[in-house]
Amino acid sequence: MVGIVLKVIFILAGLLLLMTAASPAAVFPFWETDAVGSRVSFTTVPQRVVCLAPYITEMLPAFGRESILVGLTRQDLILNSGLRAVNVGDYFSPDVEAIADCTPDLIIVAPSHETVIRAFRDRSDCRLMVMEAHSLETAFSHMETMGRIFDCEEEATAVIRDNRNQLALAARKLSAVPAGRRPRVCRVMAGKTLSCPGDDSFQNEVIAAAGGLVPAWGKTGFAVPVEPAAWHEFNPQVVYGCTDNETAVRTLLDGPEWKEVDAVRDGRILMFPCDLTCRVSVRAGAFVQWLAALLHPDIYSTPEKAVLENTVLSRKPAAVSFDYVDRAEVVAHRVADATYKSVVVRFKEPVTVHSTLEGGRTGIRAVGNSYVPMHASLGHMTRGIDTVRKSIASNLGYTGAEYAGLMTGADMANLSIQTRTFKELTVTALVTAGVRGNALRMSRDTGAYYEKPGTINIILLTNRRLSPAAMAWAVVTVTEAKSAVLSDLDIRSTYSPRAHGATGTGTDTVLVVQGEGAETAYTGGHTKIGELIAKVVHAGVTEAIARQNGIRTDRDLLQRLAERKLGPDKVAARYTTYMNEKVLASRLAELLQEPYYTAFMESALALSDAYGKGLVKNLDFFDDSCRSVSVRLSGDSNALPVCSDNEETLPVVLQKAFDAIVGGIVKGDAVP
């Protein structure tokens, strides 16, 4: 076990934190060898791709090639809200006809997709590639392959370089930690029994790279059953799993066979997003840093233990233009080994600002909004954010007294800058926004935290000198416009998604710059400047959410249901029928893609919210609609919805809607 750790450290420590040269552009024609040894020829860049391999699906948008994806599994569509492609069925049982209907020129599959491989292996009208990655190095190699195939070598190289640099940095930070101080860590999965990754899994590489000791079960594979005796012998000190499997994992670990280990006794059960735990992600390096910060908080939370100097790494101009603004730019800079990205607006003379994070401040020479990587927020920020604020200001060339800043978990690459003018009036908003993880509905959800850094962050500038009252009122106008976006997009509360839409994230912040020009005392909605403020904020928040989370009004119904934690698998699990759960989930997913049933469920979502608010008081008409849907599916005029087991109460309208659809499917054994 120690040998594995030392080997990983040796390999990663040998990686240089240097810019690697971009790969030369591919010269067509050329050949690539896939995971089963087949040679696939490419004479041109593929334009219509059906991808059933999730880790490849993630790569293509990261390389700027999402437009070529024409067919995806429903799991990938749900996970990647920003992608627009045809649903070609369940990952475990893809629909061959739906794939063919996409008229792809390339199909990318995993080895387990035997039915698809048989159907398309010998087709002359499209190519088939079988792809699988069990290790980080294999995944990086496949990134290079995708770069060649899709003529995006430079983008692929940049992603690989970032991952290697982060792995090398983690290795350097952890190099002095002896084996005796490295916690025993394993990834866990729960089904009928407890499973862990096999000894050949990339997940053990991730754990070792993050400074953990990995188990050796003597088995290989993505998930292997673990015997209680082996579990207790390894005695993990930290376990982690996938958020989608969280309830099952925690329930299983509470059982007598599994709970008598250090990790469970100490409550060190961590959960991470599926795209980080279940496949080699394009963010593998960031995940290693995140996990390392949790396993070794002292190293990651102590600025004095940083191995690299704080410095500016790059600058890029940002489109902000006012007479009192010197310049605006997006700056990448390093703080205690973490790479921050800050949008900064620098002023010719000191200004006054009104910030919901810091209150009213004077003598400000620059304002900004900084993206904080997850491992940094869990690491050195645990010592308090004041030190970090000062470091950010210093990197940007200011003292803490001269700089007013916001902080966010939204990537600055997804920044939206919006400007609107009317005659001599000009208003600009700089917006970052993320609504995954802590969106809530004010007045309905419970507050439990005391820290302040924000998630939807807005910096507002105008060509008017705003009075103190106007700056305060602008916060109201900004907030109303922001909440309107969340309503327009049907963003759900993280804490009560089935019942409530969100009004904000609970950590949103606004910074208003007083500005220069004619004095303005009122910025409410009835004023022209208030109108412009609302428009730039609405446009900025809408665009920022689309960039950060992929959420737009045209997203798929299955994506909207997943946001309510009502994906087809979860819905199917609520019902006890003769039909296999996976089959029922697949049929439900297919059915909800048909326009008639899509409209029925979309109507149910809207009606459910209205009924929950008391705006609709009688559901007799909806009961008639439900009966009609059930009869339409089953062909039985006496068909009644099947009853769910009510494992968790749903809003009454949604319960009726799913009872009708599932009842019709089961009673009629309907195939859409």
User: For 109-162, how does the pLDDT look when each residue is reduced to its tens digit (9 = 90+)?
Assistant: 999 999 999 999 988 889 999 999 989 999 999 999 999 999 999 999 999 999
Question: pLDDT value at position 354?
Answer: 97
How do strand 311-317 and strand 185-187 relate by DSSP bridges? unpaired
How many C-beta atoms lie closer than 10 Å to residue 50's C-beta? 29
Return the amino acid letter for 444. R
Question: pLDDT value at position 385?
Answer: 79
**pLDDT-derived band of residue 667, with 50, 70 and 90 as boundaries?**
confident
Task: Taking residues 228-233, report their average pLDDT.
Answer: 95
In sequence order, which residues have a C-beta less than 8 Å from that of residue 49 and are 6 or more positions away? 60, 68, 69, 70, 71, 104, 105, 106, 107, 108
Report d(CA 310, CA 186) in Å as an integer: 33
C-alpha of 49 from chain center: 23
Question: pLDDT value at position 445?
Answer: 39
- pLDDT > 70? residue 83: yes
SS3 state at 461: strand
Residue 486, φ and ψ in degrees, nearest 5? -60, -35
Task: Taking residues 381-400, report their average pLDDT.
Answer: 86
pLDDT tens figures, 453-466:
338 999 999 999 99
pTM of the full structure: 0.88
The answer to whether 253 and 259 have CB atoms below 8 angstroms apart is: yes
**pLDDT-derived band of residue 579, with 50, 70 and 90 as boundaries?**
confident
- pLDDT > 50? residue 4: no
In sequence order, which residues have a C-beta less than 8 Å from that of residue 377 and are 6 or more positions away? 409, 453
Q: Which two tokens stand for residue 306?
A: 């940083």
Q: Which H helix or E strand runs over 340?
A: strand 338-355
- pLDDT > 80? residue 27: no
What are the C-alpha distances in Å from 604 to residues 485, 495, 643, 660? 21, 21, 18, 11
Q: Which two tokens stand for residue 662?
A: 């599932």
Sign of dihedral through CA atoms 285, 286, 289, 290?
Answer: negative
**pLDDT-derived band of residue 56, with 50, 70 and 90 as boundaries?**
very high
Question: pLDDT value at position 523?
Answer: 96
**pLDDT-derived band of residue 441, with 50, 70 and 90 as boundaries?**
low
Report d(CA 285, CA 377) in Å as an integer: 16
Report d(CA 161, CA 21) in Å as an integer: 9
Question: pLDDT value at position 192?
Answer: 85
Mean pLDDT of all residues belonging to the chain: 89
3-state helix vs strand vs coil in the chain, percent to 5: 40, 20, 40
- pLDDT > 60? residue 647: no
Q: Which two tokens stand for residue 523?
A: 């910025």
**pLDDT-derived band of residue 377, with 50, 70 and 90 as boundaries?**
confident
**pLDDT-derived band of residue 316, with 50, 70 and 90 as boundaries?**
very high
Choose the weakest-confidence range: 354-368, 380-394, 472-486, 612-626.
380-394
Question: pLDDT value at position 8?
Answer: 44
Length of the chain, in residues: 672
Closest by CA position to 461, among listed 429, 420, 415: 429
pLDDT tens figures, 478-494:
999 999 999 999 999 98
DSSP 303: G
Task: Taking residues 596-602, report their average pLDDT.
Answer: 96
Tell me the CA end-to-end span of the chain in Å, nearest whole number: 52
DSSP 182: S
Closest by CA position to 52, among listed 96, 10, 101: 96
Report d(CA 235, CA 329) in Å as an integer: 50
Give me the helices (H) in 413-507, please: 468-488
The answer to whether 207 and 184 have CB atoms below 8 angstroms apart is: no
- pLDDT > 90? residue 244: no
pLDDT above 70: percentage of residues in the chain: 90
Cα angle 524, 525, 529 (rounded to 5 degrees) comes to: 75
- pLDDT > 50? residue 444: no
Question: pLDDT value at position 670?
Answer: 45
- pLDDT > 80? residue 451: no
Cα angle 555, 558, 563 (rounded to 5 degrees) comes to: 80
What are the C-alpha distances in Å from 180 to residues 150, 171, 213, 597? 46, 17, 9, 59
Question: pLDDT value at position 439?
Answer: 57
Give the CA-trace dihedral at 440, 445, 448, 453, to 10 degrees: 20
Return the amino acid letter for 232. H
Look at 437 and 284; give whichever has higher pLDDT: 284
- pLDDT > 90? residue 19: no
